[in-house]
């Protein structure tokens, strides 16, 4: 991509367009952030724009929730990684998504249990609780990370919830995140709960079936999960 009257190549412009394509779900099934965009993505994630974008999404979620007549059967589904908790300390050491995903290294980070909260999502969580909404955490983390995930959520400020659902790999091995999360949301609805809201950083968090009355997509240009 070129810009200006002289048609000069500016990497930041091209990378901004790539990020837009990612967030709009036009760029899909990608494995890593383009090497030339490491600096741009890092600056975005560490800068004010990421916080501002996250704030806008969470604000709209709260504005919507305030219009509802909440009942005891209403739940709100939160993803965890890059939605409720931030793995930025890990990704800052691994090229902001430029490096290929390393399950061993990432799980070692998860096991530390020190991921901080995404501040704007934590605010939404607290506001929804004050409205009487039941909170459901639905994550792609495996069942064997239940203890550390529970402790990390509480350490980060998420002190209570209705359900914490982690992935049973004996059931969902080889299944996409869309299939897994759709199935778990269906189970909630079959038990009589109404999913009034659903928020996540991946399109796979909010696509599929039983997605809820309204969905909210947080920014995440660091990785893609199908």
Residue 222 in domain: no
- Tell me the per-residue pLDDT of 180-209, one tens digit each, with 9 for 90 and over: 999 999 999 999 999 999 999 999 999 999
Residue 56 in domain: yes
- Tell me the per-residue pLDDT of 97-114, one tens digit each, with 9 for 90 and over: 999 999 999 999 999 999
Number of domains the chain is built from: 1
3-class secondary structure, 102: coil
Residue 223 in domain: no
pLDDT tier at 139, thresholds 50, 70, 90: very high
Q: Which residues pair with 8 in a beta bridge?
A: 3
Residue 226 in domain: no
Residue 131 in domain: yes
Residue 1 has pLDDT above 50, yes or no: no
Residue 224 in domain: no
In terms of Cα–Cα distance, which of 124, 122, 137 is closest to 167? Answer: 137
CATH number at residue 144: 3.40.50.1000
**168's tokens:** 């049973």
Residue 201 in domain: yes
Q: Are 202 and 225 in contact (CB under 8 A)?
A: yes
Global pTM value: 0.94
141/80 Cα distance (integer angstroms): 9
- Per the structure, the complete domain to which residue 37 belongs is given by 5-217
Listed in sequence order, the residues at least 6 apart from 7 whose beta carbon sits closer than 8 Å to its beta carbon are none
């Amino acid at each position: 991509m070129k810009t200006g009257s002289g048609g000069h190549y500016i990497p930041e412009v091209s990378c901004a367009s790539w990020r837009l394509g990612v967030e709009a779900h036009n760029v899909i099934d990608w494995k890593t952030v383009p090497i030339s965009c490491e600096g741009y993505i890092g600056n975005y994630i560490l800068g004010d724009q990421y916080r501002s974008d996250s704030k806008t999404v969470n604000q709209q979620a709260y504005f919507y929730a305030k219009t509802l007549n909440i009942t005891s059967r209403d739940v709100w589904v939160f993803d965890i990684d890059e939605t409720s908790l931030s793995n930025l300390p890990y990704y800052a050491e691994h090229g902001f998504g430029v490096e290929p995903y390393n399950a061993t290294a990432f799980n070692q980070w998860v096991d530390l249990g020190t991921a901080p909260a995404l501040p704007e999502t934590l605010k939404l969580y607290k506001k929804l609780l004050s409205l009487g909404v039941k909170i459901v955490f639905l994550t792609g983390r495996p069942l064997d990370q239940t203890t550390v995930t529970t402790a990390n959520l509480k350490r980060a400020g998420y002190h209570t919830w209705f359900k914490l659902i982690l992935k049973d790999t004996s059931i969902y091995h080889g299944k996409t995140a869309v299939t897994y999360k759709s199935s778990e949301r269906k189970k909630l609805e079959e038990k009589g709960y109404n999913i009034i809201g659903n928020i996540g950083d991946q399109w796979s968090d909010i696509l599929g079936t039983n997605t809820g009355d309204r969905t909210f997509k947080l920014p995440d240009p660091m990785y893609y999960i199908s």
